[in-house]
Structure 1
């Protein structure tokens, strides 16, 4: 048997094993129990408006706010890390290493609970939700700062040298020549960060929120406790489908952008 024939035989065996496992699952699974636990029709028909108009809307809104704030913070951190003044570089490096090393949940709890305790009840604008979003911004800013820094370093040095030979100063060169090229390079990883933030908004449930402030995960948890599908996981199935409907198109965009960049190089 040749090598090609052996590889074909292995593939056929793996396909046969997959089909066998699928048949066994279909025959053994308790479909009635699965249906009553995960697919209660009322859990979809009577709650979809809340999930779409409140949960999905707030999830997208919180993501946009956290991403925008984190992006601005990341730009500041990058400029500090590239500054000629050493203390600025030290502060930026310490910040990035700190918030990349902390779980987002810990930072959210610190901003929502720890800061009010330390500063006599003071919270950022927006109450507990605002505090949670600030926590997401702090973490996202640290990750995006490293992504943007890598993009800046990927810009050919000749671009900077050509701009300086034309009489541009360092700040103007960075703003008009280096940064635009760097941002084009880092669009795919920044889009990945956006996808991560969409999922990280689910951590905001720990801070507590009003009924009209709930995002998808909090809404699903509440409907598991009460509502037409209480006591089942139907709401979790529904919220999972909505998360996938939001994130899968973005991941496809990332893949397309990466292929386009590879072709351009």
Structure 2
């Protein structure tokens, strides 16, 4: 309460809550920045989910080289900051290998986010698969089901139900990690929320756009975090 009373509210309103500056951000902050944030999130998470599933199955494979490759990949990209991976794909890899990333610099950044998120998603899915009771696998095999069909029809559906809350948490992380794409460089129509707001701060010498971007991130992420809590309560009741 004392902090609220002693704060310089005139300065706060002028620098962070300027209505004229806020008006200048609309509608582009929604039609361009928020839309791109959601689009980049969907692409990065979907790609990470597909690659993560493959890596999880490789890590649980009886074939040793598959396990080694998967383990090295997961440990490497879980240990590297996403920002450095984006930098590597956007700048270092094109120079080192004369490579033009699909989709330009944004495409390179999204590829980096897919690769990083896949490492975390792989471990989540692996844990979910191993949490499925082994008795169900043994019962399926006793009925003559092939191991591959047992995995697809029995194990994976249950595993995904188990890991839905942590996967939703990973989705929230990907949403926030799209803010790191600024390092790759973007055209005006490609900017996500953070880059859009940062550019407006430079133009207006006012931080109101950053406050609006933060509010929009909350609008996107808070429903997902509430969904995670609800799913966790549902799983606990089911157990």
Instruction: Tell me whether the two structures share a fold, i.e. TM-score over 0.5.
Output: yes
Q: 1:201 aligns with which of 178, 191, 196?
A: 178
Name the residue aligned to 2:24: 46
Task: Map residues 178-193 of structure 1 onto 2, 5 A cutoff.
Answer: 178-193=155-170
Q: CA deviation at 1:46?
A: 2.1
Name the residue aligned to 1:88: 66
Alpha-carbon RMSD across the aligned residues, in angstroms, is 0.8
Name the residue aligned to 2:143: 166
Task: Map residues 6-17 of structure 1 onto 2, 5 A cutoff.
Answer: none
Unaligned runs of 5+ in 1: 1-21
Q: CA deviation at 1:27?
A: 2.8
Task: Map residues 38-187 of structure 1 onto 2, 5 A cutoff.
Answer: 38-120=16-98, 122-187=99-164
Measure, in 1, the Cα distance between the counterparts of 2:60 and 2:148.
Answer: 11
Name the residue aligned to 1:8: none
Name the residue aligned to 2:235: 261
Output one character per residue of 1:189-239: Cα deviation in whole Å (capped at 9) or x when no partner: 00000000000000000010100000000000000011xxx1111011100
2:7 equivalent to 1:33:
no
Measure, in 1, the Cα distance between the counterparts of 2:176 and 2:226.
Answer: 16
Measure, in 2, the Cα distance between the counterparts of 1:72 and 1:187.
Answer: 15
Measure, in 2, the Cα distance between the counterparts of 1:179 and 1:232.
Answer: 50
Q: CA deviation at 1:25?
A: 2.3
Specify which structure has the bigger relative contact order, considering alpha-carbon pairs within 8 angstroms and separated by 6 or more residues. 2
Q: CA deviation at 1:30?
A: 1.2
Name the residue aligned to 1:218: 195
Unaligned runs of 5+ in 2: none
Measure, in 1, the Cα distance between the counterparts of 2:221 and 2:209.
Answer: 18
Q: Answer yes or no: is the 8 Å Cα contact 2:40–2:178 preserved in 1.
A: yes
Q: CA deviation at 1:124?
A: 2.5
Q: Answer yes or no: is the 8 Å Cα contact 2:140–2:150 preserved in 1.
A: yes
**Higher alpha-carbon Rg:** 1
Name the residue aligned to 1:250: 224
Name the residue aligned to 1:6: none
Output one character per residue of 1:137-191: Cα deviation in whole Å (capped at 9) or x when no partner: 0000000000000000100001101110110111111111101110111000000
Measure, in 1, the Cα distance between the counterparts of 2:113 and 2:107.
Answer: 10
Q: Answer yes or no: is the 8 Å Cα contact 1:71–1:141 preserved in 2.
A: yes
Instruction: Output the TM-score relative to the length of structure 2.
Output: 0.98
Q: Answer yes or no: is the 8 Å Cα contact 1:112–1:123 preserved in 2.
A: no
